Chains A and B, each alone.
Chain A
């Protein structure tokens, strides 16, 4: 079996909390606390969870923007966490990113040409005199055509959707293998969001890309992503193929996320009865003992307060970290039945 395109093994990213240069840190935020996942060639993997679950930190660790505390990140089977600077550059070429806010992620004082030429120059991919043509071609690919016409404009002359297209063009400039998209469509209006999703899917085919799609929007996940990894408080709680997880979640947190996601269908929405999950996400500085989800879990039992559930394998390459994952149908059946008689 060949190695996956990208593999994360037992990754931890901890940050000191509080303190400063006078006081000692008050504790450690366990933002990512032992997560393993893999991304195959040509796959769209969703990383979902609520604020503070560690999904963004995991994405940043993969991009090399934060240093992991322990664990390994492997690209095509070889470790990237301790590469020499020159080799790191090669890795960075293959893994590019798109962020949530297209207003913050473009330099307002650079023209589109300057923004797009930078990565080309950094990686020495295109001779200087061809950069203009290459940049124009990139803009054509992301639907800003004719690209030539946009090259000398500044970011403030574009709308949010157009800026996100420029960010995508910048990520594509170095012909990456993987794009890490962190809430890339969350700030966009519905009509613009659909345009960008359509574009991302088109580019995936054209450039044989793999996406790590970090989001909290399960509607987007259902339609765009092949596989889903669900995180809660720094841990992976469930993983598997999108359709399989959405029809039969094997972790009560996944169930709760699905039940809380509004449905764009008034009849279906009124037919389902959901009990909202109580309470807030606890602090990642002092995660609850046992299963981290137990204080909010509707089916928590004694064992959940005492022992941390292992990530167990299930049918179809699925994994779930719940003591009661095997009994999933019995506690999710009611919710699923309601969803299915709608479909």
Chain B
């Protein structure tokens, strides 16, 4: 299978005074060219930390302890910082949740977009400015000629997110990582931004890694899904298979807890308890204290990673026989 990105056994820990937080523990994932892949999970499960680690955007006390990140045949974790800087924002671009913390409030929007183009495409000032205008037009910002002169605070949340996307896609990245890109936005603006991302991806042929807690967004816009819990990938499946028949009890519980607009849920089904403290994660399966189907081996030893039919993967003792 042709792969654009292959993450193998990525481990990232946070060294805090209270102890070592095992935020990302042996995460492996693959993304094919032009595929839309979701990494879903609840707050603190390590999904953002995974993305930051593979972009090497971590600094102490966060440390990448091991693993490989293969991108187009190169191990990103072995590149020099200068080489990595050309990958970042060039071949792999990232869109964050809060555009206001990413945009510099004291520079004009056009200059910030032009800078990104300038660095990665080696263009001169004049050409980069023209490129910035083109990039803003590309993300369907109304009146881009005026908007290049605006400061970020003069734009609405949706428009800022468009500017961020303009910067991200200006260099035609092969992979776009979007970390909760619409969480801060209203639902109609969210729909606009997601539609824009889909259009641009189709046009450029970029792959997408969507990091989200929103199963609705994942269902609607992604092809394949990785479910993360307490620093580990617990299930991997194609989007249709996952929503039709989750193979890990955590995924099943998440689906039961999510509410849909097309029918009324008579009784709310909740996963009791809360995600574990990752300084001292539970022994065995990290989900077992909350798992409705936990049995004898779950609390004793780490569950096997089992490949099921259709190439699906689940990290659960329930599938042990399927090995």
**How near does chain B come to A201, taking the closest CB pair, in angstroms?**
7
Q: Which of B53-61, B97-105, B119-127, B216-224 faces chain A?
A: B216-224
CB < 8 Å A-B pair total: 134
Do A262 and B265 have beta carbons less than 8 Å apart? no
Whether, in the assembled complex, A277 has its beta carbon less than 8 Å from a beta carbon of chain B, the answer is yes
* Cα-based distance from A219 to B255 in the complex (angstroms): 13
Do A264 and B42 have beta carbons less than 8 Å apart? no
Which of B253, B261, B265 contacts A191, CB < 8 Å? Answer: B253
* Cα-based distance from A17 to B42 in the complex (angstroms): 39
* Cα-based distance from A267 to B189 in the complex (angstroms): 23
* Cα-based distance from A246 to B260 in the complex (angstroms): 11
Q: Which residues of B contact A280 (CB under 8 A)?
A: 156, 158-159, 189
Whether, in the assembled complex, B269 has its beta carbon less than 8 Å from a beta carbon of chain A, the answer is yes
A137-186: which have CB < 8 Å to B? Answer: 159, 161
Q: Which residues of A contact B220 (CB under 8 A)?
A: 262-263, 266, 269-270
* Cα-based distance from A287 to B271 in the complex (angstroms): 44
Task: Describe A's contact surface by its main secondary structure.
Answer: helix
A44-81: CB near B (< 8 Å → 1, else 0) gives: 00000011000000000000000000000000000000
Whether, in the assembled complex, B280 has its beta carbon less than 8 Å from a beta carbon of chain A, the answer is no
A216-234: which have CB < 8 Å to B? Answer: 216-220, 222-223
* Cα-based distance from A51 to B187 in the complex (angstroms): 10
The residue among B186, B192, B195, B271 with the most chain A CB atoms within 10 A of its own CB is: B186
Do A223 and B265 have beta carbons less than 8 Å apart? yes
Do A266 and B257 have beta carbons less than 8 Å apart? no
Q: Which residues of A contact B213 (CB under 8 A)?
A: 189-190
Whether, in the assembled complex, B214 has its beta carbon less than 8 Å from a beta carbon of chain A, the answer is yes
Do A262 and B216 have beta carbons less than 8 Å apart? yes
**How near does chain B come to A272, taking the closest CB pair, in angstroms?**
9
A263 and B268 contact, Cβ closer than 8 Å, known pairs A159-B274, A280-B156: no
Q: Which residues of A contact B271 (CB under 8 A)?
A: 191, 194-195
Which of A191, A220, A222, A269 contacts B263, CB < 8 Å? Answer: A222
Do A190 and B257 have beta carbons less than 8 Å apart? yes
A219 and B240 contact, Cβ closer than 8 Å, known pairs A51-B186, A190-B213, A274-B191: no
* Cα-based distance from A189 to B44 in the complex (angstroms): 10
* Cα-based distance from A24 to B263 in the complex (angstroms): 51
A219 and B219 contact, Cβ closer than 8 Å, known pairs A194-B270, A276-B191, A280-B159: no
Closest to B260 in A: A264
**How near does chain B come to A312, taking the closest CB pair, in angstroms?**
24
Whether, in the assembled complex, A5 has its beta carbon less than 8 Å from a beta carbon of chain B, the answer is no
Do A266 and B186 have beta carbons less than 8 Å apart? no
**How near does chain A come to B274, taking the closest CB pair, in angstroms?**
5
Whether, in the assembled complex, A118 has its beta carbon less than 8 Å from a beta carbon of chain B, the answer is no
Whether, in the assembled complex, A256 has its beta carbon less than 8 Å from a beta carbon of chain B, the answer is yes
Do A195 and B270 have beta carbons less than 8 Å apart? yes
Q: Which residues of B contact A212 (CB under 8 A)?
A: none
Do B187 and A266 have beta carbons less than 8 Å apart? no
A296-310: which have CB < 8 Å to B? Answer: none
Q: Which residues of A contact B268 (CB under 8 A)?
A: 194, 197-198, 201, 223
Closest to A187 in B: B43
B199-246: which have CB < 8 Å to A? Answer: 213-217, 219-220, 239-240, 243
Which of A194, A256, A267, A343 contacts B257, CB < 8 Å? Answer: A194
Whether, in the assembled complex, B254 has its beta carbon less than 8 Å from a beta carbon of chain A, the answer is yes
* Cα-based distance from A269 to B223 in the complex (angstroms): 12
Q: Which residues of B contact A209 (CB under 8 A)?
A: none
Which of A51, A222, A343 contacts B259, CB < 8 Å? Answer: A222
Closest to B271 in A: A191
Q: Which residues of B contact A220 (CB under 8 A)?
A: 259
A263 and B261 contact, Cβ closer than 8 Å, known pairs A51-B186, A195-B272, A198-B268: yes
* Cα-based distance from A222 to B265 in the complex (angstroms): 8
B3-28: CB near A (< 8 Å → 1, else 0) gives: 00000000000000000000000000
Whether, in the assembled complex, A122 has its beta carbon less than 8 Å from a beta carbon of chain B, the answer is no
Whether, in the assembled complex, B323 has its beta carbon less than 8 Å from a beta carbon of chain A, the answer is no
**How near does chain A come to B97, taking the closest CB pair, in angstroms?**
14
Given A191-B271, A216-B186, list of 19 further CB < 8 A pairs? Answer: A50-B188, A189-B213, A191-B253, A191-B270, A194-B256, A194-B257, A198-B270, A218-B261, A256-B188, A260-B188, A261-B261, A262-B217, A263-B261, A265-B243, A276-B195, A277-B192, A278-B192, A280-B158, A280-B159
Contact residues of B with A, CB < 8 Å?
42-43, 156, 158-159, 186-192, 195, 213-217, 219-220, 239-240, 243, 253-265, 267-272, 274-275
